[in-house]
A and B are shown apart, each in its own frame.
Chain A
């Protein structure tokens, strides 16, 4: 991984209420910006859940001596997976912002292994969506982290300013 000087394509803007197709929608999100930089990938989805993968990379390490991935990329991965799970459950793309996100790190991630986030949207109200999920490095029964969060569903104008 190197700092690339190639210009990136302009970010894709999805219109409010756009039918959300998880695989394509996720690809649109992971081409650019922070998710693109980290290298997140679509893995799978169901009615109300979403799986994203984050391959291990040397420049995302938090402890140089051990090669353990930093927790920052795990926050980003869980933030994205839970966020997309809301759109998966609703079947449409609606603007939302993270209100609150909690992450419990139950063990250190294994160096070199891809991290997989499995996130579920378990409730949607008029203005809030409630999510939870785990991150693991191969065995979903032995997670590295658990998360719980809330997204605020907001109007399109608040969400994007360009």
Chain B
């Protein structure tokens, strides 16, 4: 995870690698006007974007561990919104259930102050494509 840099969208949204937990990056995002939906609450899309970024980061870490330099292409995501996201910092962590030769299946959860109280839960599927030549 040494030189992993979050993409422009994530940086613009204020996402950052909060810390590494058992080799998996935990992505953190502070509450701000740019993340707000209805007054005082996180926007569902901002939560979705955070979940995806944590999914990517977890998968990248897993592929690095395997010595696999495949490119990750998102196939789909399904998000369950479990409770309203409050005006505070939000965290997300992905768990790679399986990273095969062609497809990776990742589960991602987001929480705020209390880790037991999830704000959202999701699954993502990725297509793993061979790294570009050269």
Contact of A99 with B81 at beta-carbon distance under 8 Å, contacts A34-B36, A76-B49 already known: yes
Chain A: interface secondary structure?
A: mixed
The answer on a CB contact under 8 Å between B77 and A72 is no
Chain B: interface secondary structure?
A: mixed
The answer on a CB contact under 8 Å between A34 and B46 is yes
Q: A63 interface residue, CB < 8 Å from B? A: yes
The answer on a CB contact under 8 Å between B74 and A58 is no
A-contact 0/1 string along B71-98, CB 8 Å cutoff:
0011111111100100000000000000
Query: B34 touches which one: A34, A102, A105 (CB < 8 A)?
Result: A34
Q: Enumerate chain A residues within 8 angstroms of B28, measured Cβ to Cβ.
A: none
Question: Closest CB of chain A to B73's CB: distance in Å?
Answer: 8
Question: Closest CB of chain A to B133's CB: distance in Å?
Answer: 15
Q: B48 interface residue, CB < 8 Å from A? A: yes
Q: Enumerate chain B residues within 8 angstroms of A79, measured Cβ to Cβ.
A: 43-45, 48
A residues lining the B interface (CB < 8 Å):
1, 8, 11, 13, 32-38, 58-64, 69-73, 75-80, 97-105, 108, 159-162
